[in-house]
Amino acid sequence: MWIELPAAFNRGHAYRDRVTPRDGGQLLSAFYAARYPHSSAAVWRQRLAAGEICRNNQQLQADVALAAGDGLIWHRPPWQEAAVPVLPGPLFDDGDLLVFDKPSGLPVLPAGGFLEHTLLAQLQARWPDARPVHRLGRFTSGLLICARRSATRAWLSAQLRESTAQQQRLQKSSTTVTTLVSPCRKTYRALLQPPAPGSPLLALEPGELLSLTTPIGRCAHGSLGTIWAAAPAAPAAPAAPADPAALPALSVLRLLERRERAWSVEVTIATGRPHQIRIHTAAAGAPLLGDPLYGPGGGAQAGALPGDGGYHLHAHRLQLACPDGGLLELEAPLPEALRGAADG
């Protein structure tokens, strides 16, 4: 059981924006409603009346037309942040590189109502020069890489990007399963809903592999404006995404165990797209068990947000190439819900 950091008020935050020529001439309330769609223009007018917004360092209390180049600051008052787990000590620390077993429920970076109750804030309180190299979803647990030196962060980020780029240079086996060739391997454990009729997962036996290649793109979302989700297929070419800006993505899924209420799987990702495993398994007809956001087909549910929990996803194993030519291989212990008969 993780130790918790209790719910508490933060110190508020100043959100800074610059008006572009495209946005000049519109009312400030309309600008903010478009920039931050979680609040309507009427709510932004209330914030103006409360004296929370400045234009060019002058406090405003009524709506005004904006001009290109205007500098805006919204002084958001303190708000209460929910309780989150305390970051445990590192699994690995060589004086530069730090690797943690991130608890489920702990956001990595400020977002979704969290500013100070984040892994970043806890990390820098103990290691002021350390920064995360990548991120995991709030309710995804497991291996998270951080580094103290900027050169190490740049090297690791480049390696993760190259892992994504190599999805175009993969060796194919004699079956339909793709063999991953990058030295950077990220392997997750997850629980899935039992697959829907027609899902390609239904043909798998334990131990067998399946490639998941649904492109991932930005789709409309009522609360956020847009959200990452499975890119819709082009009507004239179902194998291609309708959005040319959609990102190619590759996950290789291995079935571990069929349970009564869930299927246990291992997923190795060759690319690092946002919410990739959640989207790919949902697109294949087997969303993560308890995932409120991504349903069958890989689309996003209108009333849910990326930070909503309920699913089981764990970054279990990590392999990275070291500058000296060796390999760093790490493993985060499995949460109880993800352990199977073969895990002891």
Residue keyed to tokens 């007018």: 45
| pLDDT given at position 181 | 53
Q: Can you read off the two tokens belonging to residue 204?
A: 């798998």
The H or E element that residue 327 is part of is: strand 327-331
Of residues 160, 273, 82, the one with CA closest to residue 283: 273
The H or E element that residue 82 is part of is: none
Q: What is the pTM of this model?
A: 0.86
The H or E element that residue 24 is part of is: none
Of residues 264, 281, 267, the one with CA closest to residue 340: 264
- Find how far residue 158's CA is from the centre of its chain: 18
Task: Return mean pLDDT, the chain.
Answer: 89
**Band of the pLDDT at 171, cuts 50, 70, 90?**
very low
Q: Can you read off the two tokens belonging to residue 23?
A: 């946005």
The full set of domains in the chain, from first to last, is 8-80 (3.10.290.10), 180-332 (3.30.2350.10)
Of residues 235, 212, 236, 216, the one with CA closest to residue 227: 216
Each residue's pLDDT tens digit, 286-344: 999 999 999 999 999 988 999 899 999 999 999 887 766 778 899 999 999 999 876 76
Determine the Cα–Cα distance for residues 202 and 200; give it in Å rounded to an integer.
5
| pLDDT given at position 240 | 56
**Band of the pLDDT at 177, cuts 50, 70, 90?**
very low
Q: Which tops the pLDDT comparison, 97 or 271?
A: 97
Any idea how long the chain is? 344
The per-type count for the chain, helices as H runs and strands as E runs, is: 5, 24
* Dihedral, CA of residue 308, residue 310, residue 312 and residue 314, to nearest 10: 40
Determine the Cα–Cα distance for residues 140 and 290; give it in Å rounded to an integer.
13
**Band of the pLDDT at 162, cuts 50, 70, 90?**
low
Q: At 176, give phi and psi (nearest 5°).
A: -85, 0
Q: Which tops the pLDDT comparison, 197 or 183?
A: 197
Q: Can you read off the two tokens belonging to residue 28?
A: 């400030």
Q: Which tops the pLDDT comparison, 260 or 184?
A: 260
Q: Does residue 151 carry a pLDDT above 70?
A: yes
Determine the Cα–Cα distance for residues 123 and 109; give it in Å rounded to an integer.
11
| 8 A C-beta contact, residue 332 and residue 314 | yes
